[in-house]
Amino acid sequence: MKDRIAQMEKDLRSTYALAAIINKKSETAANVERYALTELHKATESLNFIALNRAEESKRVHERVNALIELSSAKEIFWREHSKASAVAQFQDRVQQVHHFFDKCYKAMRVVWKTMFPLNAVPPTLLALMSEFGNAKKIRDLVHAQVFAGARFTLALVLARYPSAGFKKKGTPQG
């Protein structure tokens, strides 16, 4: 009987040890989850500039949360908590809005590029396109050349229309 009691005490100590380990792991997991959600909220707030229409954003987030809840099984506790699912859905929505914003920027800059450099291929990415526009000297030289080409063309048209105007005889303003 003493052996049986000793074995039960040993098993009980093992059970307590396992319970303590499980408790510690669950606390650690909860802390990690809290930290991740806090960082997710910070990241979402840093994308706050993109949320131009709060009502539309709320509607999209609500629809996404409902879809996540419907798709989740009974075992997926994370998605069952509305606040957690909402935090993830709002972050996803803001990231999609940023992507949409940069697509619009790229399309607008493509139009400018095609207007300024009609014979050159448009750089394939927004980053490449922005680096091309980042070369201020290249853009300034292009505008300078365009202005002077336009002025020369205008002068040629005036001389063609009024050959007796005598612009060529007067020379440049310096001499």
Distances in Å between the Cα of 75 and the Cα atoms of 44, 63, 69, 71, 72 are 27, 21, 12, 11, 8
The confidence score (pLDDT) of residue 168 equals 59
Percent residues over pLDDT 90 in the chain: 31
The confidence score (pLDDT) of residue 30 equals 87
Residue 170 has pLDDT above 70, yes or no: no
Residue 108 has pLDDT above 50, yes or no: yes
Query: What is the maximum alpha-carbon separation in the chain?
Result: 131
